[in-house]
Every structure is written in structure tokens, then in C-alpha cells.
Amino acid sequence: MGDEESKKWVLMVTAQAPTNMSVIKYWGKRDETLILPINDSISVTFDLQHLSTITTVSVSPTFLHDRLWLNGKEFSLSGDKYQRCLKEIRSCAGDVEDEKKGIKITKKDWENLHLHIASYNNFPTAAGLASSASGFACLVFALAKLMNLKEDNGKLSAIARQGSGSACRSLYGGFVKWFMGKNDDGSDSFAVQLADEKHWDDLLIVIPVVSSRQKETSSTRGMRESVETSTLIQYRAKEVVPKRIVEMEEAIKNRDFQSFARLTCAESNQFHAVCLDTSPPLFYMNDTSHRIITCVENWNHSEGSPQVAYTCDAGPNVVLFAQNRKVAALLLQRLFFHFPPHPDTDLKSYVLGDTSILQDVGIQDMKDVEALSPPPETKDDIAQKYKGDVSYFICTRPGKGPVLLSDEGQALLNPETGLP
């Protein structure tokens, strides 16, 4: 870029990336710095409309240093995870030309140019719904487009992994596998797509949001403590997970819900057993999480086969997979009965995402929720209601990977100034 050129330009890109939920869990690292896991994992990517991060990245010669705004608040970019991602991406950057703005950026220029980044999550941050997964996936995807990286998604997933392990899985839609890899440099630890979102499109996902508060023990610290103190974690990584990975890949390929549900529930339960086997023990679930799981277990048991699968990450929110739309509607009826909202709650703020499912349940307003009968399998002594214990519900489905958005009307930064 010549000195005679105007220094007033701002170049920006806006992208949207989904979050994901692991059904075969990632818990424990063999390398803390490069974020290399002690076992493979498999996840389901959520629909972008319902659980995602939108990120705008911009560059300008007028920016004095790298800056980040998350959900409207400015945060420091000095953390190792951000620095690693930025360094990796800058090292892979290509030449960029914008004839309209008269901009030419060479590969070498990227080392001296500063970035402004603004990010927004459309769901609770740090509450066990994988906000860091969509956040880092979106950051890496958007920067790759801004800096004209020629890398494929496999390479991008390895870069995103260094920001947040599960972010490598959010660079793909549908059903995704993350290889733990064996190499010390992490070059063979990346994600691949097992099947796209259309492969099993009758699967529906219901998330009762128990708490949108930040969790007390971060995943990073929790994993470190588990690896250092749990005797169960090494047995799980070496003996249990490899077999389950093979079975889960087969279940997804064949759309075998019985096997999918059995494995998903067993994985969640064993993951939380490892958390309890950690010293001091890690309590990510709470009483409401346990009640939701009991509600699902009672129903599955009464039907004689799994109708719904549950899984819970490092947080209190249980993610429920229903085998089809009819089952999802019956599931919502049960959950609405046991976890009704506070009386002044509006139906629109109580159910988010794919609200069309409410018509299947015959619910048009809050009076219909209040009038629900106890589920058939509910015994009189446990026909209890826990009013307000669930803040709201998100209804979603498997979705696609990251997409570019138009800067007009969707950008989080001002195109003239590069500021929020």
C-alpha cells in the first residue's frame, strides 16, 4: 500500500456460525496450549436461525490496535486463545484487492494492520450451550474471508480448535466428527462432516433453558482438574469412547434413533460421572437438569423404547433430541406441564426458535399451557410442577455450517469508522 493512497478506508466481512452439541463428549486435553483432546468426539450442529453467533471483522490502516466487542461490551484480545487464532490466520493470509475502494493489501501487509471484531450471540453465553464454539468458528470463518485465505474447512477447523476445542466442529453443518489426532503439533486434529443436515431431517431438538447464568467452573479449568484427578477419565478415553465412536457413526449413517439415543444418554451420564469423580467434584447440572432427565427417562421407560435422547454439557441446560416432530410435540406437552412459566410470561418469550411446533400441540396462548393434564406415565406422587424453573424453551433442528452475510443491515460495525 503506497503512502499516497488514502488511509481512510475500512474493509469488512460479516458471517454467521452455528453452535453444536456433542453426543460423544470431548472432555480432557492431552495438550493445553494447542487444545488437543484425549479422545475423538461427535456432535450435531444446530440451526443457524436459532443458536448462532454473528461476527463482523474489519481492517483499516486507521485502527491503532486489535479490538473486540462481544454482545456490545468491549473485551481484551490479549488472551492466548485469541492471539493464537489471530497469529495462525495472519500467517495464512493472502493478497486482497478492492478496486471500488482502491485498496490493495499484500500478504505481508496483514502483519502490520489491526482488526476490529464485533460478535453477538443469539443465546446465553457461557451457560453450557457452546457459545465459545460458535464464537471462535465464526471469528475464524469471517477472518478467512476477509484475509482471502485459500485454506479448506479442515485447515480452518484446526485453527478454530486453538481458540475453543469444540469450535472446530462448528465449521460444518449436520453431524460432525473431531479427530483427536496423534501428532504433537496438532496437524491431524481437525473436524470432518459425517453427514449433512438434510441426512436426518426429521430429528428435532428441544432445549429447556434452565439458567442463562455463567457457570461457576469454566470448561477449561474443569477439564484440567478432571485430567489431573479423575481415575475414570483415562479408562473412558481409552476403553469406552473408541467403541462408542464407531457405534455412533453407524447410528447416524443408518438414522437408527434407538442406538443414537442409547449412546447419547450413556455418554452424557458418564461425562457427568467423570465430573463427580474429579477432585474437588464438578457440579454442572442442577436440580432442574435432573428433573428434566427423570421426566424423559420415565417416558422412555413407559414406552418401552427411547422416544427422546438427552445430553448435557458443562452447564445446567439439557439438550433433548426427539426422533420426529410428533414426539417433539408430545415432549413439549410434558415439559410444559412440569415446568410451567411464571404467570406473567408471554408465550412468545417462553418458546423460541421453531414455534410452529406449538400448533401441533394445540397451544395458542398461556391458558392452553395451564390447562395441560399430567402425562399418562406420571404417578400421582410426582405430578409436581416447578414453576419458573425453566426460563424458556428453544426448538431447533440440525442445521448447516457458517455462512457469509451481507454487510448492509447485518454488520455489527459501522462501515465508515469500523466501530460498533
Domain of 389, in residue numbers: 204-396
Residues 58 and 145 both lie in one domain: yes
Q: What are phi and psi of 393, to 5 degrees?
A: -115, 145
Per DSSP, 237 falls in state I
Nearest to 37 by CA among 22, 53, 18: 22
In a domain, 5, yes or no: no
Residues 187 and 304 both lie in one domain: no
Residues 149 and 218 both lie in one domain: no
Residues 356 and 339 both lie in one domain: yes
pLDDT value for 4: 45
Residues 158 and 249 both lie in one domain: no
What is the spatial distance between Cα 188 and Cα 185, in angstroms, rounded to a whole number?
8
In a domain, 149, yes or no: yes
In 3-state terms, the chain is what percent helix, strand and coil (to 5)?
35, 20, 40
Residues 96 and 220 both lie in one domain: no
Residues 191 and 79 both lie in one domain: yes
In a domain, 97, yes or no: yes
pLDDT value for 380: 55
Residues 124 and 166 both lie in one domain: yes
Indicate the number of domains in the chain: 2
pLDDT value for 388: 84
In a domain, 1, yes or no: no
CA angle 356, 359, 364 (to 5 degrees): 110
Nearest to 158 by CA among 332, 36, 338: 36
pTM (2 d.p.): 0.94
Per DSSP, 109 falls in state G
pLDDT value for 1: 47
Using an 8 Å Cβ cutoff, are 34 and 185 in contact?
Answer: yes
Residues 145 and 215 both lie in one domain: no
Residues 355 and 282 both lie in one domain: yes
Using an 8 Å Cβ cutoff, are 66 and 59 in contact?
Answer: no
Mean pLDDT by 10 residues, the chain (420 residues): 65 96 97 96 96 96 96 92 93 92 92 96 67 94 96 92 96 98 96 98 94 75 97 97 98 98 98 98 94 95 96 94 95 92 82 90 84 77 76 95 91 94
